[in-house]
Structure 1
């Protein structure tokens, strides 16, 4: 094989993050580094720059979540991964990408269901007064 090897990828990760991955952590680098959102994107961008990898085919939503945002529905709880699927980014995948110069993973074609977040507004507007009325009724009975 020509190009960077597994040891080169591990040296890059150690230089970038300041720690050595265990053998089990090598199976999922982003999870081992606890990288989501901007941290994971920055890691993948620096990997691509260091090894000359074209990340055009890389789909971050399959590998990590977006960063937490107060404006995101459900905050502070992280949303589930897309379709409940999270594909690990292994050291072997990074080595394959570095050797070929492009992202090697082929993703399934999945269509995203339309968001139902708008349902939260009527539920809150109707649910809170009903809950308050029930609470007042219980307090009057006691």
Structure 2
């Protein structure tokens, strides 16, 4: 076992209370139910602990967002616009060894505007504006 893998295994057990799978290609987020904000927290803690630059990490390839997104029923969020890439022990070990995020993402394009989020916002703002107008007219 390499030093990087041993350090990862120790940290993984501290953070999740679980043993790091022996298989280098194990899908950690799927196996341990890590998603949404927990996945972001996991990756932030990983980067901080092992001094790995996360600038090149694109969350939407690896996990979905937290919570229920009504707008996603009509407009695909970023994670549904790309093919998922699992976070594996091998990827994390390479990140520790190089100090950089090692995943090379395929070419992709995301819309400049998150229409799913805009729809969610309008569902909140339209009723509030209606209520304000109603109160103002009274």
Question: TM-score with structure 1 length normalisation?
Answer: 0.66
The separation in 2 between residues aligned to 1:74 and 1:59, in whole angstroms, is: 19
In structure 2, the CA distance between the partners of 1:101 and 1:114, relative to structure 1 (3 Å rule), is: closer
**Residues in 2 aligned to 1:55 and 1:110: alpha-carbon distance in whole angstroms:** 19
Equivalent residue number for residue 102 of structure 2: 104
* Counterpart residue number, 1:12: 11
Match of 2:29 in 1: 30
CA distance in 2, matches of 1:50, 1:72: 35
Aligned CA distance change for structure 1 residues 101 and 24 (closer, same or farther; 3 Å) = closer
Q: Is the 8 A contact 1:21 1:32 kept in 2?
A: no
Match of 1:135 in 2: none
Q: RMSD of aligned C-alpha atoms?
A: 3.0
Local SS of the residue matching 2:52? coil
State how far apart, in whole Å, the 1-side matches of 2:54 and 2:8 are: 16
Give a deviation string over 1:75-97, Cα, whole Å, max 9, x none: 8xxx7943351101110100100
Unaligned runs of 5+ in 1: 122-142
Moved over 6 A (4+): none
Any conservation in 2 of the 1:27–1:91 contact (CA below 8 Å)? yes
| Cα separation, 2, equivalents of 1:9 and 1:108 | 26
Structure 2's unaligned 5+ residue stretches are 120-138
Q: Answer with 1 or 2: which has the greater Rg.
A: 1
* Higher mean C-alpha deviation, range 102-111 or range 39-48: 102-111
1:36-115 correspondence runs (5 A): 36-69=35-68, 72-73=70-71, 81-83=79-81, 85-112=83-110
The number of residue pairs the alignment matches comes to 114
Quick check: 8-17 or 56-65, which moved more?
Answer: 8-17
